[in-house]
Amino acid sequence: MRIKEYREGMKAGMPVCVGYFSVSFGFGAMAVSQGLSVLHSVLISATNLTSAGQFAGLTVIAAGAAILEMILTQLVINSRYALMSLALSQRFGPDVGIGKRLVAAFFNTDEIFALGMARSGKLTVSFFTGAGTVAALGWTGGTLLGAVAGSLLPISIRMALGALLYGMFIAIVVPQAKEEKPMLVCMILALVLSCLFQWVPLLNQVSAGLAIVICTVAAAALCALLFPIEDKEAVQA
């Protein structure tokens, strides 16, 4: 591993580390409020770097759903990482072995992927791993602090801390929805479907994990039909 590039990656990943810390604090607080121990909450974040996947998984765990529903939920929510990994593999080049690629794949999140793809010149595993390492420390450390605080604070404050993730999602999705009609329609469709599974008789009997899968796939499929991307647009993208 090239130490200089690893340090450059760590420096580039510091802003991501700070952002991850604040969001994972909410995850830790919510996890203990759902009955998980501090240790289990930290282990989840230490072995996973996927905010949406972890919060969705926490919902599935709290609902006592089957392992198959957990697998389907994570497969749908995290499927974007497969495409991101394909793009990264092209930047790394053919000389990078499978072992290094597996290490890079563990740190492949939306933000770290953006840092890697935005880097001028050749992207190295050392740089990518450095950025991922400091981000992972922020994510795990925030979870630890949030879990400890959540186990000590009153339930009302714990539930308030759990709203941090939803605030983050709103901050990410709303600006894009204002600029892109397909994004707005997809968001509304997912919201409507989620409400149906929450309040409509029979539909509200569907487990939380399966409901997440259905809402995600249905909203994405409908928007793909309503707003197809032309070949020219796909090439430009």
Residue 93: pLDDT band with limits 50, 70, 90: confident
The tens digit of pLDDT for each residue in 28-81 reads 888 888 889 999 999 999 998 888 889 888 888 888 888 888 888 888 888 888
Same domain, 167 and 131: yes
pLDDT at 237: 44
Find the domain containing 83 and state its range: 3-173
pLDDT at 233 over 50: no
pLDDT mean over 96-101: 88
H or E element that contains 156: helix 155-161
Q: Report d(CA 80, CA 134) in Å as an integer.
A: 22
Same domain, 197 and 137: no
The residue behind tokens 């605030």 is 167
Same domain, 98 and 141: yes
Same domain, 126 and 206: no
pLDDT at 217: 84
Same domain, 130 and 212: no
Same domain, 104 and 86: yes
| Domain end marker among 156, 173, 190 | 173
Same domain, 143 and 195: no
Single-letter amino acid code for the residue at 11: K
| Domain end marker among 131, 155, 173 | 173
Same domain, 83 and 169: yes
pLDDT at 82: 85
Same domain, 117 and 81: yes
Model's pTM, two decimal places? 0.73
- Return the biggest CA–CA distance within the chain: 59
Q: Report d(CA 157, CA 151) in Å as an integer.
A: 11
Same domain, 22 and 125: yes
Same domain, 208 and 96: no
pLDDT at 94 over 80: no
| Domain end marker among 140, 157, 173 | 173
Same domain, 103 and 191: no
What's the structural domain count of the chain? 2
Q: Report d(CA 228, CA 234) in Å as an integer.
A: 10
**C-beta separation of 29 from 124 below 8 A:** no
